[in-house]
Amino acid sequence: GAVVSQHPSRVICKSGTSVKIECRSLDFQATTMFWYRQFPKKSLMLMATSNEGSKATYEQGVEKDKFLINHASLTLSTLTVTSAHPEDSSFYICSARDRAYWSSYNEQFFGPGTRLTVL
């Protein structure tokens, strides 16, 4: 149980185009999903917290107009990188919190990540 998928697993696009990444909780409902970014040999950095049915909360320094997040259902959140540039190339990882599972652990389940390369 507690599987999170991401699609696509890798994408290559031209500079100036927009790219959409999907994050799905396959066997549970997630009221909250998180989007992270990871550069090579670096730690995961939280970009934004996505709550179903409401606007995402962005971390300081993350441009909300650049990284559009939509959490339209309890099993799907999307991250759209608009007008992508080479510096947006990175590994994007989502995670989801199971709404039905609450404990002191407050578990998050991570997706397999999406490798974005902007040429």
Residue burial 41-52, b: 16+ Cβ < 10 Å; e: rest = eeeeeebbbbeb
CB of 33 to another protein, least distance (A): 13
Q: Is 46 a binder of another protein (CB under 8 A)?
A: yes
Interface with another protein (CB under 8 A), residue from 30, 69, 79, 93: 93
CA torsion 63-89-37-40 (nearest 10°) is -140
Q: Is 104 a binder of another protein (CB under 8 A)?
A: yes
Interface with another protein (CB under 8 A), residue from 55, 64, 85, 115: 115
Whether 45 and 38 have beta carbons less than 8 Å apart is answered as: yes
Two tokens, residue 97 = 């919190």
CB of 24 to another protein, least distance (A): 13
What residues between 22 and 41 interact with another protein by CB under 8 A?
41
Residue burial 19-32, b: 16+ Cβ < 10 Å; e: rest = bebbbbbeebebbb
CB of 46 to another protein, least distance (A): 6
Element (H or E) spanning 103, and its range?
none
Q: Is 89 a binder of another protein (CB under 8 A)?
A: no
Q: Is 112 a binder of another protein (CB under 8 A)?
A: yes
Residues engaged in binding another protein (CB under 8 A): 4, 6, 41-46, 91, 93, 95, 104-113, 115
